[in-house]
């Protein structure tokens, strides 16, 4: 029987790309002067694994290139070659090339032969050049030492390195690592080192779960079977054995340790990390590190295909981590859709049960209440499956910052926090580009040159801050910088020049700041390929609005700027308030609603015989008559007879005039764009419990539609 | 059952809010829930803490892991703790599990 290797391709590509992300992170740390064996080994391991996988699957060009790269990395690993910025640059470009080669191979497109040949030649040139004096010593990586499988043939006292990362249920199953280690000590001399970074704070620790992992060195002429027998009651994939022959090799837990079956490490390394040396040009203080996953590359090669692949230290681990499986997003989307349909069916049942009376009806409603709770749990569970940490987006920025800093001659430091904040995969996929725009803008326009910064009493290094956190039912992402801040006068002058602001009109700081989101708006004197054409900030705002999110900008002259983006957790289901206008029912996202009030006559003022505003506390808010905006027949036209719902988007508040407020409910969002066409003011549609279709309001879109509606119906313009 | 849990006097805070962790004869998986509760109770005090481990005769990974979590919390909160005593059984478990370096507070042994 022949094995169809093609079935492993997608997994190989996905995992190779993840591995390349780890490689890039490690290279960026090298570039920041953080040279250590773990980083070099991580980089080497990625190249080694991709080479092995590519050769197995017959991707010869990828295998050939990574082989050359691996040779260079091997010299680094052996301490034969010095790590310098030029070499790091070559390695980063190699990383880019491998990524594009894999993408082209996956898409069955032709590879960039010229680019590959040029970089291969560059690597060969480096290899031919005399190696400089070694500057570091890197312990041998197990991935490259398959020959050491027989301890008897190695020099020095024989022994075993044992990597023991038990699952959390180990203690409950009656196994005790202390007993296991004691038994190992009967076989030979044991030196163990614990890895406690998965131990949560005491208040969160389940005392019956094991959150520890160990790196053990067992010295002695010991048969593998004897060691396996000690771990007889432990799951096989929690234990990894490696023979060694040299007593001089020290335990390096961070290099060898496979990640246990927990989630992310919850504690920083207990030992204080050495201060990173200041970078000569661009410092990147990112928490991004070689992920634990980097030690478990290519589980796809655990399939029979792995047998044909190059020997790899990951192979023993690759017998399958039964704690997780890789599922296509299509399958998860199908599941989400089914949950959505269930939510609709549930609201149909609620509607049907509402008019019923009697004991049975009461019991039915009670059961429906229970169903609703279970539905919410189910929906949350499915949503959690779709949730990914925002680090997958943040991880691309250290490279961006480094490259832009070099190009613009600016010294930059990237600070990331809240990178474990999770949000829906679809939102994540769409948030990357807007963030890139914002960061480029901050670097190009916000952060000053080192000379200007020093003259202004600031540090030469400009800081770009990325921060993510959950707030209410939303995720907030902030992009800040400590640059010069927005230039109010220049923005205002430009806006007046373009006719966006009347010459005598006075604007609040907030409105001036928001001008930069106008299409084509740029105050940059020089248009560069980084930014300055005025395309960017309006695209950022539009993209965020399309995601159901809002953007706000804050700036302090001389101190810096901060853009705050508020995003929904998911695009599939939202908590909505049903509101009636005439016979139409609309869904207003609850996250946009500030309050709903009954209007008193003395609160309302009319401007220019037409536009109405309501005085609410110390603010005047425009009144949006939805029936006029959507051209429908209302029940009430007098403001005193209906309700005013105050909604907010992008820092702007307006009052929506409605006939009636109905129930609140979760609604499943059906895309108008996919099923019909996009319409300004509507985020989508949904099916109500009674089978009617209701349109979901997109509050920023409603405000924008209202503004253009007002402009069209301006009496002054109509008279002219 | 953990002695400290049985004998509240033994677990009473020391002077000026000093926490006093008193480990019982047995600190194993079976006593883990009670030991965690005792550690959390002491951790609510501002510290520093004193740990008395002289009575420990039986301890397993679950017990050591709880002590480790407590010690790491102290490290993160920058609060010192000192070992007033450690039995041979406790010392042996700490050594074999390779947690010695993590369980040594800057305060060291009293």
For residue range A178-200, what is the model confidence (pLDDT) as tens digits? Answer: 989 988 888 888 888 888 888 88
* DSSP-derived pairing of the beta strands B49-53 and B81-86: parallel
Choose, out of A203, A207, A213, the residue to mutate when testing the contact with B (most B CBs < 10 Å): A207
Kindly report the nearest CA distance between residue B31 and chain A, in angstroms.
9
DSSP code per residue over A72-105:
HHHHHHTT-S---HHHHHHHHHHHHHHHHHHHHH
pLDDT for position A210: 92
Q: How confident is the model at residue A280 (pLDDT cuts 50, 70, 90)?
A: very low
CB contact under 8 A, A178 and B96: yes
Report which of A218, A220, A224 is spatially closest to residue A181, judged by C-alpha positions. Answer: A218
Residue pair B53/B19 in contact by the 8 Å Cβ criterion: no
Q: Which of B40, B62, B65 sits opposite A199 (nearest CB)?
A: B65
pLDDT for position A139: 34
Q: How confident is the model at residue A472 (pLDDT cuts 50, 70, 90)?
A: low
| Residue A682 vs residues A569, A669, A713: alpha-carbon distances, Å | 19, 11, 21
Residue pair A315/A302 in contact by the 8 Å Cβ criterion: yes
Residue A650: pLDDT above 80? no
The angle subtended at Cα A520 by Cα A516 and Cα A524, nearest 5°, is 65
Token reading at A695: 């349109």
Token reading at A123: 């690597």
Residue B4: pLDDT above 70? no
Residue pair A487/A448 in contact by the 8 Å Cβ criterion: no
**C-alpha–C-alpha distance, residues A300 and A306, integer Å:** 8
Q: What is the phi-psi region of residue B77: left when phi exceeds 0, alpha when psi lies from -120 to 50, beta otherwise?
A: alpha
List b or e across A201-238, with b for residues whose CB sees 16 or more CB atoms inside 10 angstroms. ebeebebbbbbbbbbbbbbeebeeebbeebbeebbebb
Enter the DSSP assignment of B109.
B
A552 SS3 class:
strand
DSSP code per residue over A288-316:
----GGGGG--GGGGSTHHHHSPP-TTTG
Report which of A534, A442, A456, A542 is spatially closest to residue A486, judged by C-alpha positions. Answer: A442
What proportion of chain A, given as a percentage, has pLDDT over 70?
Answer: 79
| Residue A239 vs residues A179, A319, A351: alpha-carbon distances, Å | 15, 11, 56
Choose, out of A164, A170, A194, the residue to mutate when testing the contact with B (most B CBs < 10 Å): A194
Choose, out of A161, A162, A178, the residue to mutate when testing the contact with B (most B CBs < 10 Å): A178
Strand partners, A684: A696
Using a CB-CB distance cutoff of 8 angstroms, which residues of chain B are in contact with residue A173? none
Q: What is the phi-psi region of residue A79: left when phi exceeds 0, alpha when psi lies from -120 to 50, beta otherwise?
A: left
pTM: 0.50
Instruction: Return the higher-pLDDT residue of A398 and A502.
Output: A398
Average pLDDT, integer, range A477-506: 86
Average pLDDT, integer, range A439-449: 90
Q: How confident is the model at residue B59 (pLDDT cuts 50, 70, 90)?
A: very high
Whether the bond between A525 and the residue before it is cis, its omega within 30 degrees of 0, is no
Q: Which of A190, A200, A208 sits opposite B62 (nearest CB)?
A: A208
* In the block, residue with structure tokens 């570039």: A31
For residue range A495-532, what is the model confidence (pLDDT) as tens digits? Answer: 888 888 888 777 888 888 888 888 767 655 544 444 54
Average pLDDT, integer, range A29-46: 74
CB contact under 8 A, B62 and A199: no
CB contact under 8 A, B97 and A177: yes
Q: How confident is the model at residue A473 (pLDDT cuts 50, 70, 90)?
A: low
For residue range A42-91, what is the model confidence (pLDDT) as tens digits? Answer: 888 888 888 878 877 888 889 889 988 988 888 887 777 778 878 888 89
A644 SS3 class:
strand
**C-alpha–C-alpha distance, residues A77 and A81, integer Å:** 8
Q: Which of A178, A181, A196 sits opposite B68 (nearest CB)?
A: A196
| Closest chain A residue to B44, measured at CA | A203
* In the block, residue with structure tokens 């406790």: B90
**What ipTM was predicted for this assembly?**
0.87
Residue A625: pLDDT above 90? yes
């Amino acid at each position: 029987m022949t094995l169809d290797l093609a079935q492993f391709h997608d997994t190989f590509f996905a995992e190779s790309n993840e591995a390349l992300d780890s490689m890039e992170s490690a290279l960026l740390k090298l570039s920041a002067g953080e040279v250590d064996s773990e980083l070099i080994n991580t980089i080497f391991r990625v190249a080694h694994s991709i080479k092995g996988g590519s050769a197995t699957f017959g991707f010869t060009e990828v295998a050939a290139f990574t082989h050359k790269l691996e040779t260079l990395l091997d010299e680094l690993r052996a301490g034969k070659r010095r790590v310098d910025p030029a070499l790091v640059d070559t390695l980063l470009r190699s990383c880019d090339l491998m990524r594009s080669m894999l993408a082209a191979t996956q898409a069955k497109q032709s590879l960039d032969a010229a680019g590959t040949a040029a970089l291969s030649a560059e690597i060969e040139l480096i290899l031919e050049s005399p190696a400089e004096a070694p500057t570091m010593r890197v312990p041998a990586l197990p991935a490259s030492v398959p020959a050491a499988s027989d301890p008897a043939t190695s020099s020095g006292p024989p022994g075993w390195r044992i990597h023991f990362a038990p699952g959390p249920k180990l203690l409950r199953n009656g196994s005790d690592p202390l007993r296991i280690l004691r038994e190992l000590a009967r076989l030979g001399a044991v030196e163990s080192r614990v890895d406690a970074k998965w131990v949560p704070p005491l208040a969160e620790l389940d005392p019956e779960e094991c959150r520890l992992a160990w790196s053990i060195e067992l010295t002695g002429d010991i048969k593998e079977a004897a060691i396996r027998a000690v771990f007889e009651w432990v799951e096989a994939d929690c234990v990894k054995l490696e023979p060694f022959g040299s007593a001089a090799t020290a335990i390096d837990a961070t290099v060898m340790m496979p990640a246990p079956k927990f989630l992310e490490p919850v504690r920083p390394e207990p030992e204080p990390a050495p201060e990173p040396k200041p970078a000569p040009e661009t410092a990147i203080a990112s928490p991004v590190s070689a992920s634990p996953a980097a030690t478990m590359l290519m589980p796809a090669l655990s399939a029979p295909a792995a047998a044909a692949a190059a020997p790899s230290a990951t192979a023993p681990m690759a017998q399958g981590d039964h704690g997780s499986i890789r599922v296509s997003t299509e399958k998860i989307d199908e599941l989400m859709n089914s949950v959505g349909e269930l939510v609709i069916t549930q609201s149909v049942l609620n509607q049907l049960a509402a008019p019923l009376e009697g004991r049975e009806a009461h019991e039915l409603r009670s059961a429906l209440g229970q169903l609703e709770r279970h539905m919410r749990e189910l929906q949350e569970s499915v949503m959690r499956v779709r949730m990914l940490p925002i680090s997958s987006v943040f991880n691309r920025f250290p490279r961006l910052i480094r490259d832009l800093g070099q190009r613009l001659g600016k010294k930059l430091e990237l600070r990331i926090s809240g990178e474990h904040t999770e949000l829906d995969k679809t939102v994540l996929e769409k948030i990357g580009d807007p963030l890139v725009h914002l960061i480029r803008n901050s670097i190009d326009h916000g952060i000053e040159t080192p000379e200007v910064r020093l003259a202004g009493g600031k540090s030469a290094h400009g800081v770009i801050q990325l921060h993510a956190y959950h707030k209410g039912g939303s995720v907030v992402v902030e992009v800040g910088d400590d640059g010069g801040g927005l230039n109010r006068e220049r923005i205002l002058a430009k806006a007046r020049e373009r006719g966006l602001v009347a010459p005598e009109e006075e604007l609040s700081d907030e409105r001036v700041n928001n001008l930069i989101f106008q299409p084509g708006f740029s105050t940059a004197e020089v248009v560069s390929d980084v930014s300055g054409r005025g395309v960017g900030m309006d695209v950022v705002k539009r993209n965020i609005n399309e995601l159901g999110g809002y953007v706000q900008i804050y700036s302090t002259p001389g101190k810096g700027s901060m853009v705050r983006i508020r995003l929904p957790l998911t695009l599939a289901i939202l908590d909505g308030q049903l509101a009636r206008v005439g016979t139409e029912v609309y869904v207003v996202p609850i996250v946009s609603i500030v309050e709903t009030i009954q209007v008193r006559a003395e609160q309302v003022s009319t401007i220019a015989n037409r536009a109405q505003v309501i005085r609410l506390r110390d603010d005047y808010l425009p009144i949006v008559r939805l029936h006029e905006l959507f051209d429908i027949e209302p029940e009430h036209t007098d403001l005193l007879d209906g309700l005013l719902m105050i909604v907010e988007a992008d820092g702007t508040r307006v009052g929506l005039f409605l006939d009636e407020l109905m129930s609140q409910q979760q609604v499943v969002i059906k895309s108008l764009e996919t099923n019909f066409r996009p319409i300004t003011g509507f985020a989508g549609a949904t099916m109500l419990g009674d089978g009617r279709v209701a349109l979901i309001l997109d509050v920023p879109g409603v405000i924008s539609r209202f503004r253009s509606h007002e402009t069209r119906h301006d009496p002054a313009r109509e008279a002219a | 059952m953990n002695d400290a849990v049985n004998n509240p006097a033994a677990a009473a805070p020391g002077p000026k809010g000093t926490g006093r962790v008193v480990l019982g004869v047995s600190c194993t998986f079976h006593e883990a829930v009670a030991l965690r509760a005792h550690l959390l109770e002491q951790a609510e005090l501002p510290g520093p803490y004193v740990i008395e481990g002289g009575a420990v005769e039986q301890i397993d990974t679950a017990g050591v892991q709880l002590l480790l979590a407590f010690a790491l919390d102290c490290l993160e909160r920058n609060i010192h703790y000192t070992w007033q005593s450690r039995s041979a059984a406790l010392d042996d478990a700490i050594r074999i599990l390779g947690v010695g370096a993590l369980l040594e507070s800057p305060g060291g042994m009293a």
